[in-house]
Amino acid sequence: MFQKVAKPLFFTIIGLAIVGIAYELMTNAGAFFTQMLITIGIAVVIISILYFIMNKFVFNQSNDMKHYRKAVRQSKMKYGKTKSSSIKNKTKPTTFKNKTSVKSEKLTKNRPRKKPSHLRVIEGNKNKKKDRASL
């Protein structure tokens, strides 16, 4: 029953809106565009305020997210910013060497030391095991 009434009502409202917009454009286009820009500006301001409030107070309540951000901040302080991908992707021109010189170079060079990991362990529920029988 609701579908039979709602569909024609919806299309009637949309049709009247289109007729109203067309009439407003024909009679007073300048005021229409001014009103639309003001409406869009107000909507952007309201959405920005709501987004800021949601980000600041609702999404940051999780302790895990606080611990994660603290770990990221400490990692950045310790290791600095990461290099850009364009620097990593640059390659040196290759030269042809015979096989014996390549092997001798590998033996003489010391292996570079591995950098310590920049990740930090965030405490969680490690000791809780799933009850497989209840699944």
SS (H, E, C) the chain: CHHHHHHHHHHHHHHHHHHHHHHHHHHCHHHHHHHHHHHHHHHHHHHHHHHHHHHHHHHHHCHHHHHHHHHHHHHHHHHCCCCCHHHHHCCCCCCCCCHHHHHHHHHHCCCCCCCCCCCCCCCCCCCCCCCCCCC
Q: What is the dihedral of CA 63, 68, 69, 72, to 10 degrees?
A: 160
Alpha carbons 132 and 102: distance in angstroms, whole number? 55
Residue 92 resides in a domain: no
User: What is the model's pTM?
Assistant: 0.38
Domain that holds residue 66: 2-80
How many domains are contained in the chain? 1
Residue 49 resides in a domain: yes
Q: What is the pLDDT of residue 22?
A: 94
Residue 32 resides in a domain: yes
Residue 24 resides in a domain: yes
Residue 74 resides in a domain: yes
Give me the tens of pLDDT residue by residue for the chain, a chain 135 residues long.
Answer: 678 888 999 999 999 999 999 999 999 999 999 999 999 999 999 999 999 888 777 665 667 778 888 899 999 988 876 555 445 555 555 555 555 555 556 655 666 667 777 777 777 665 666 666 665
Q: What is the pLDDT of residue 103?
A: 58
Residue 129 resides in a domain: no
b/e map of 13-31 (b: 16 or more CB within 10 Å)?
Answer: eeeeeeeeeeeeeeeeeee
